Chain A
Amino acid sequence: MLFNSIDFIVFFPIVVALFFALPHRLRWMLLLAASYYFYMCWKAEYALLILASTMVDYYAALRMQRSEKHKRFYLGLSLVSNLGMLFGFKYFNFFNESARALFDQFNVFYDVPAFDVLLPVGISFYTFQTLSYTIDVYRGKHEAESHFGIFALYVAFFPQLVAGPIERPSHLIPQFKKKQIFDPALAGSGLRLMLYGLFKKLIVADRLSVYVDTVYAAPDVHSWVTLTVATVFFAVQIYCDFSGYSDIAIGASRVMGYDLMINFRRPYFSKSLAEFWRRWHISLSTWFRDYVYISLGGNRRGYWRHLLNLSAVFLISGLWHGANWTFVVWGAIHGAVLCLSILTRDWRESLPGYQWLSNHQRIHHTLQIITVFTIVNIAWIFFRASNVTEAATIVSRIFTLAGDGFFTGDVAALGHALFAVGLLAGLEAFKEWELGRFGFDWLGQFSIVRSIGCAAAVILILLLGVFDGGQFIYFQF
């Protein structure tokens, strides 16, 4: 079931009404049933994978807590079963094809057949969420959950099941145990956040996708200007698509009284790449920080090891996004630029203009934001392209200023897209620079103003939204 479908508009109020109508002790059952139904609307048999993952981790965590001696074994069991499932469904064909290509280079016969199976939606998200549980139990940060239903709900909670935010057990599990009382103010705030998420998805992301898809379908025939515009549009599209999903997930949970972690904080206003990763897909960045980067030694094992750890984390993060070399290159670019920024920090600060820039904060910050945005966009080219060769063609066409003219496509669609980008930029800048302090926050205190604002947003979605835009980009990860 998609958040941007009418089915969800029917499903969600029913679940919320039943949730608050039921006594607290029965609510986990309702949410668990609703979560499995939500997932099974897509492909029922793949719910067995979630169930299998839940059962293994539930058992492994309990055993870990009971026996200090076999802790490592049960952690291994959890890691092997979850990562094995992820590898089998997501990466087997990729590594198999890469091995075939490698063997072909040396004329060696290689005949391992491909695994013809559909990628289960959200597998990367729920496996990471359940792994965070077993690792936390192993580290003694969290008690093993004895209530199977609550743990199963932690793995499958429908708002964040298929595309995050990737939650931590210490944050989410206690909330399921606490009795939630309907709070109209909280519910209103959740609904407004859901509305903003729908705005991002239906008005911005899906509008931009029309132009981006057309240009990226035949990048070799488009000019550098067109390719640059399409890439910038893609940057906005993927942000709105993914953060829109997160907003709806957080908002839907908030209506029921649950608090999910923030996943995006206007990342394109970042002044450094490190800051970008503190603002983009925060639940994944912190997951990699806590469970991979720190496990590798973080920055405690010397300068070069620190850089190596950073690069490794970004390569793995790239691969997490998809089984394709384009994602690996995308991660590598981010890792390389981060390492380079650490390596050149002293040198950059010794440059003659640096002091002047430091004294002119606005200019400095603007240049920093533009630089980070440019780097992120170059990396997005690899993320969006079908293969590395195609991405390289796009980069080369942009940097050699190849081709003339600008492809407008359907002018009305382009008009919609530009309007959507302008509106989003305005709203994001409004939040980033806290422009609400100029009277808007005061106005927003009045419920009638908020109600009218929400009604206006719904009307805008009805007028400009794409209602057949399809699924969210991050579902494929």
Chain B
Amino acid sequence: MRATFNEPTITAAPKARIEPAAAIDAIHSTPRETSRRMVLARGAISFTCFAAALYLGDHWVGRELEHLYFHQQSGDDWNTTETLMHSEADIEIFGDSRGSHHYNPKVIEEYLDHKVTCHNGSRTAQTILYSDAVQKALLERHKPRLIILDLNPAATVKLANAAERLSVLSPYYDDVPAIQPILESRSPYERFKLLSHCYRFNSRLPTLLKYTLQPETSDLKGHKPLIGQFPPRAFLIPNDSPTADQVPALIDPALERALVSFVQRANAAKVRVILVSSPIHGLSFERTSEALALKALEGLDFQWWDYLEDSRFYGHTEKFFDRAHLKGAAAEEFSRIIADRVKPVLTRPVLAQKSAR
């Protein structure tokens, strides 16, 4: 009863505190203005609800996806996580699809009597920009004894959306500080976009679901062997391949800079670096761009091993999946060749490398 008795006093108090100007406004405001204020207030409430729902939803969905993402046990994303955050291999391999398909770490380890560990951190549909970014993050955490970069002969040739392809690294924006500037440099607004937790997993949902629901059982340490073969047309050299004199105009300075920075960083960390031109089925313009890429590396400390036109592979259709990629069995053969050549290198002092074929 007492509480009920006191109620009018409590509700009356705020009324007494209304600012004089506001009170005058309230007296003079017409019903139309009042209803307009109501409409504006409702709009403001709706917007606040939207902003709150967006913030909470983005945070919640993003966190759930992050959990799923970092609990994958196979697939490309898992392999990137391994390279960036866990790999402590003695030999770390970098590259694009050719790197991923051509080097079998298990074969290399076996050939070297399991005295060294090896991991393949290459990723399909990526460029030297990816290798550069991942190597940067790796070297801040761990220094391998040897880094192998599969030098795609067209590694520095302009490619559509080369920088956009780095979006696969967005999930690591918080966890791997080394890649933050690389991701932010993709566009002036990228740092704002990356504030969204969901945006970091943009386009990753199908693969995330696939490898979460159906993980691959075999662990090939990042290697992806190719089985089967493309139809004969996959071996044809494209008709629109540029001529040698057209190639210099096709070189992307950003890709060239990434290649130089890749080798420079390894040199600075005193880690041996070997660039390998792995086998190809048939050549078109690649040697011209490759020569330009190697010229850009002049003065740096690295070795270049050239197997691009190796007679054991070149033109052997039965060993290739398509014009640029070896089949799984041929990749094992090639990995043995590499392991054989790696063996003496590992025993040499780090700064005794020479740019040699």
Contacts and interface: CB of A to CB of B under 8 A. Distances in A.
B50 interface: yes
A222 to B, nearest CB: 11
Contacts of A411: 206, 210
A389 to B, nearest CB: 17
27 contacts: A6-B193, A183-B39, A184-B44, A187-B43, A188-B43, A221-B233, A411-B210, A412-B206, A416-B203, A416-B205, A416-B206, A447-B42, A450-B46, A451-B50, A452-B53, A452-B57, A454-B50, A455-B53, A455-B54, A459-B54, A462-B196, A463-B61, A463-B65, A463-B201, A463-B202, A467-B202, A468-B161
Given A459-B54, A459-B61, 12 more contacts: A6-B193, A182-B40, A183-B39, A184-B39, A412-B203, A416-B206, A447-B49, A448-B49, A452-B50, A456-B57, A463-B201, A468-B161
A451 B50 CA distance: 4
A279 B199 CA distance: 35
B203 A464 contact: yes
Interface in A179-215: 182-185, 187-188
Contact of A465 (B39, B50, B202): B202
Interface in B185-229: 187-189, 192-193, 196, 198-199, 201-203, 205-207, 210
Interface string A48-85: 00000000000000000000000000000000000000
A463 B210 CA distance: 16
A462 B43 contact: no
Contacts of A419: 206
A72 B58 CA distance: 61
A458 B50 CA distance: 10
A13 interface: no
Most buried by A among B164, B192, B198: B198
Q: Which 10 A-B pairs have the closest CB atoms?
A: A184-B43, A455-B53, A451-B49, A451-B50, A415-B206, A455-B54, A412-B206, A6-B189, A462-B198, A447-B46
Contacts of B65: 463
A42 B205 CA distance: 34
A464 to B, nearest CB: 7
Nearest to A457: B54
Nearest to B125: A410
B45 interface: yes
A215 B201 CA distance: 27
A383 B42 CA distance: 47
Interface in A430-477: 447-448, 450-452, 454-456, 458-459, 462-468
Contacts of A182: 40
Given A451-B53, A456-B57, A468-B161, A184 B189 contact: no
At the interface, is chain A mostly helix, strand, loop or mixed?
helix
A465 B164 CA distance: 14
Contacts of B205: 416, 463-464
Given A184-B46, A468-B164, A455 B57 contact: yes
B178 to A, nearest CB: 23
A155 to B, nearest CB: 31
Contacts of B58: 459, 462
Interface residues of A, number: 30
A188 B202 CA distance: 26
Contacts of B198: 459, 462-463
Contacts of A465: 202
A462 B49 contact: no
Contacts of B164: 468
Given A447-B45, A463-B61, A463-B205, A185 B39 contact: yes
Contacts of B50: 451-452, 454-455
Contacts of B207: 412
Interface in A242-294: none
Interface string A98-137: 0000000000000000000000000000000000000000
A456 B52 CA distance: 11
Interface string B40-84: 101111110110011001100100010000000000000000000
Contacts of B44: 184
A456 B49 CA distance: 12
A464 B202 contact: yes
A464 B187 CA distance: 19
A185 B54 CA distance: 19
Contact of A188 (B46, B61, B161, B201): B46
A377 B335 CA distance: 50
Given A183-B39, A415-B206, A416-B206, A459 B46 contact: no
Most buried by B among A447, A458, A459: A459
Most buried by A among B196, B198, B206: B206
A468 B46 CA distance: 31
B164 to A, nearest CB: 5
Contacts of B47: 451
B57 to A, nearest CB: 5
Contact of B49 (A416, A452, A464): A452
Interface string A135-152: 000000000000000000
Interface in B155-188: 161, 164, 187-188
Nearest to B208: A412
A215 to B, nearest CB: 15
Nearest to A418: B206
Contact of B54 (A221, A450, A458): A458
A450 B45 CA distance: 12
A447 B41 CA distance: 12
A412 B203 CA distance: 8
Nearest to B192: A6
Nearest to A188: B46
Contacts of B43: 184-185, 187-188
A361 B196 CA distance: 49
A468 B188 CA distance: 14
B198 to A, nearest CB: 4
A455 B43 CA distance: 15
